[in-house]
Amino acid sequence: MQKIIVLDRDGVINVDSDAYIKSADEWQPEAGSIEAIKALKQAGWLVAIATNQSGIKRGYYGRHQLSDMHQKLQGLLGEHGVDWISYAPYLSEDHSPARKPASGMLTAIEQRFDLSLAGMPMVGDTLADMQVARAKKMNPYLVRTGKGERTLANQEAILDDIPVYSNLQSVAEALLK
């Protein structure tokens, strides 16, 4: 069975900002995230990203700038690049089936690879990430980077049995043991 992991982007792979990441220059990897993705890829995992990108609809940056950010990520990963990137450029009030916590991006990943995400890991830093992982019967992992500490501070019941790790690298190390 093909192993696949779904990652949120901002706050998991790259440093997040409440002012939004608007360019490739602003896009900086979280400590250990590039190494984590490379290790997963070398171990035979498919790596997909599902990321809300409302900054596009807000007019903070365009699809070209988003593409530049993703090209920077892929460049840092070299031959161990991410297999698939899904993004939702919508606002919460748009009620888009693509925007997390809705499951549209995850359904697109399932269709792209012709597999079920049930039982597979998803790493995120927000409540929406944990909610969509549960909706798809995935195994959610919360990281403390990005908005992770804020998410934990809310003490939502859904978080009670979700494993919490310091960052993506510590999740990858645990999964690869």
Task: For residues 170 and 143, give the distance between their C-alpha atoms in angstroms, rounded to a whole number.
Answer: 9
Instruction: Given the residues 8, 16, 125, 129, select the one marked as catalytic.
Output: 8
Dihedral through CA 110, CA 113, CA 118, CA 119, nearest 10?
-150
Q: Is 8 one of the catalytic residues? A: yes
68 is catalytic: no
Which tokens is 106 given?
Answer: 């995850």
Q: Are 3 and 46 in contact (CB under 8 A)?
A: yes
Length of the chain equals 177
What is d(CA 124, CA 126) in angstroms, rounded to the nearest whole number?
Answer: 6
Q: Which residue has the tokens 């798809």?
A: 136
The DSSP element (H or E) to which 39 belongs, if any, is: helix 33-42
Catalytic positions are: 8, 10
